[in-house]
Structure 1
Amino acid sequence: MSKLIAEIKDVLSLHLVTNILLAISYYILKVNRPICEYLFDDCFLELKEWEWLTFLGCIIVIKCRKQGTFLEYMSTACMFAKFLNAVMMFKASPIYGFVYVLILILHTVVLPRPVYQGPEYVTYFRGPHLQEELERDKRITWIITFYAAWSPQSVTFAPIFSEISSQYHLDNLKFGKIDVSRYPDVGKKYNVDSGSWSKQLPTVIVFENGKETNRKPFISPKGTVVRYKFSKDGMISDFDLNNIYHRCKQNPLKGHKAKTDDDIAKEKKEN
């Protein structure tokens, strides 16, 4: 129920509502009188514009079929729709196109997409401390993000990782991060390229019993990086986090009482 309420709040957010309006703005302006009579030569979509809209629908279906949540689906759909809107606006008038692009920029700055800003349970490692921690107590399952501060994908992924750490952390299930742009030797040790053209940032690796058991993006037998788009639902599914969580919860560290769902809910409320 709490997840459903959170998704409803996301859908009703001012960012998404205005994003949808911007995505359908050309259609609204073109077919509704008296606005269309003032802005355009006619008040109906041309055959070419219908063809573009049909093509847009196909692109959205193809590109969005793997999106994890409704919010992600709508955000991706709106992105493609706004691009087509900009093209049609420029076609109608360069001035319309310029004004529309300016509005898109203002929307991004003034009403950015909401991100998680709650508590996190993440350990930030420096250099060799990561290896030392992995070997210190192999009963602890670690989920580590290898990132770079300059990487846009790493910045986008940060609030997702923080939210997951808040939801899944236990005494024997912990989350950590290390900046491989500052510690390239650590990246090299764990086969994570930290170069400017790297396709591996961020990389998330699961360590169980001190050994790597899963990573995304993974490296194919041919040595190529298989691209991976991080999302909360995608991570939970692809890393089997629910099963890892319940397994760790049922086998707490010696001297630590297993936390109940009520205990964890109470912790979150206090934080």
Structure 2
Amino acid sequence: MSVVKRLLHPHYVANSILATAYPVHQIVMHPELLSTASVATYSRWLLPAMVILSVKVKGSQSAEELVSVIALYLKVFCVYGFWVISDERIPLWGSSWGGWWRVFLYLFVWLVIFIAFPQPPYQGPSNVIWLDASQLEYLTTPGNKVSSSSGSTSSTNLRNRKDKSKIVELDENGNEIDQDEEYQSKSKKAELDPSHYWIIAFNTTWSSPCRHFEAVLARCSITYEKKNVHFAKIDMDLVPEGDQIAEKFRVSLAATTLDLPTLILFKDGKALKRLPLKIGTMAAGEVLGKVGWDRSESSVVQSFELAALGSGKESFVTQSSS
């Protein structure tokens, strides 16, 4: 699915329009602001805005993330702008209205758009396998071995997983992919073999970083998937065991968490590496605190050594065997 088609989703269109509300209001109500003198007066804000924009452009991993971040900054600016002119009365329907109604109306419309048009999931090509709680436990429990029945069970569960998540994958032409056939093919190929390398993303559907990271994980799955290297994900808020999973793998689900998304590399049921990295001091055998990460493709490639993963030349394999 092309970038243009993805950005024409109602979520991005509605938020982009909302982000321009204050500038449009000012131009309509005060066209004199377009004069050369007025533009020169406000140009001092241009440099800081360009610096912030350049940082966000560099840090964004997809066009969708860039649009979302810029729209958010502009919407906050719009709220501030309407608050600044709250004392300015405006004639409407033969009477004079105070300015505070614009602030509350803007916040109300923002809330309506947030509820009516939530951020859509990634809609491009992907080799990422969706897991349920039982499959996750099977892959992350030491001592499990692949069996002939695991493939068929995986196929059925993945079809059910698709129904729960209500995600529609589209091909490059924007046509819906037959996901039953797609997931059967992926699950049969992987066979949920715990002896393979599994990079599993622990996500939630309400987390914007998780939504933005879906495109990065998909690109990695296409570029670096091998016979013994697979990419998978689980949305912890869509499975009944989500809280237990978060507790078991020490993934915070707090609204201000830096843990989402969390990537963990498993082999033979053992966790070998993870992102974000843990930092801090030791207490009762546990590391206190974690640090966020940029969620970039390069950080995933470097941290999990994707170029060498599965070849036996990984540094952590070499170190353990020496």
Q: Same fold (TM over 0.5)?
A: yes
Name the CA distance, whole Å, in 2 between partners of 1:237 and 1:116.
Answer: 19
CA drift of 1:48 comes to 7.4
Matching residue of 1:220: 279
Letter in 2 for 1:123: L
What is the aligned partner in structure 2 of residue 61 from structure 1? Answer: 54
1:91/1:46 CA distance change after superposition, 3 Å: farther
For residues 81 and 158 of structure 1, the distance between their equivalents in structure 2, rounded to whole angstroms, comes to 19
**CA displacement at 1:208 relative to structure 2:** 4.4
* Counterpart among 59, 80, 85 of residue 78 in structure 2: 85
The one-letter amino acid of 1:153's match is S
The counterpart of 2:108, out of the listed 102, 105, 126, is 102
Letter in 2 for 1:85: C
Aligned residues: 230
Q: Conserved in 1, the CA contact under 8 Å of 2:61 and 2:212?
A: no
TM-score normalised according to structure 1 size: 0.63
Residues 118-267 of structure 1: matches in 2 within 5 Å?
A: 121-126=129-134, 129-132=138-141, 136=145, 139-146=195-202, 152-153=206-207, 156-157=210-211, 160=214, 164=218, 167-168=221-222, 172=228, 173-177=230-234, 181-183=243-245, 186-187=248-249, 192-194=250-252, 196=254, 199-208=258-267, 211-220=270-279, 222=281, 223=287, 224-230=289-295, 234=296, 236-240=297-301, 244=306
Equivalents in 2 of 1:100, 1:181: separation in Å? Answer: 35
- Counterparts of 1:1-80 in structure 2, within 5 Å, are 6-31=2-27, 35-36=28-29, 40=30, 43-44=33-34, 50-52=43-45, 54-80=47-73
SS in 1 for 2:76: helix
User: CA contact under 8 A between 2:264 and 2:274: conserved in structure 1?
Assistant: yes
Change in CA separation of 1:10 and 1:181 when aligned onto 2, cut-off 3 Å: same
The runs of 5 or more residues in structure 1 that have no matched partner are 252-271
1:218–1:226 Cα contact (<8 Å) kept: yes
Contact 2:144 2:194 in 1 (8 A): yes
Q: How far has the Cα of 1:141 moved from its partner?
A: 0.9
Change (3 A) 1:15 1:175: closer
Contact 1:140 1:174 in 2 (8 A): no
- Let me know the Cα RMSD of the aligned residues: 4.3
Q: Shift of residue 7 of structure 1?
A: 1.6
Distance in 2 between the 1:123 and 1:100 partners?
40
Is residue 61–residue 216 contact of structure 2 (8 Å, CA) maintained in 1? Answer: no
Pick closer, same or farther for the CA change 1:121–1:239 going to 2, 3 Å: same
CA separation of 1:155/1:79 partners in 2, compared to 1, >3 Å: closer, same or farther?
closer
> Partners of 1:174 and 1:65 in 2: how far apart?
25
CA spacing shift, 1:135–1:239, aligned 2, 3 Å: farther
Contact 1:25 1:85 in 2 (8 A): yes
Please state whether the residue corresponding to 1:219 is helix, strand or coil. Answer: coil
CA distance in 2, matches of 1:61, 1:106: 30
Aligned-pair CA distance for 1:217? 0.6
1:228 & 1:134 partners in 2: Cα distance?
32
CA 1:174–1:116 in structure 2 vs 1: closer, same or farther (change >3 Å)?
closer
Does the 8 Å CA contact 1:15/1:113 hold for their aligned counterparts? yes
Closer, same or farther: CA 145–207 of 1 in aligned 2, 3 Å: same
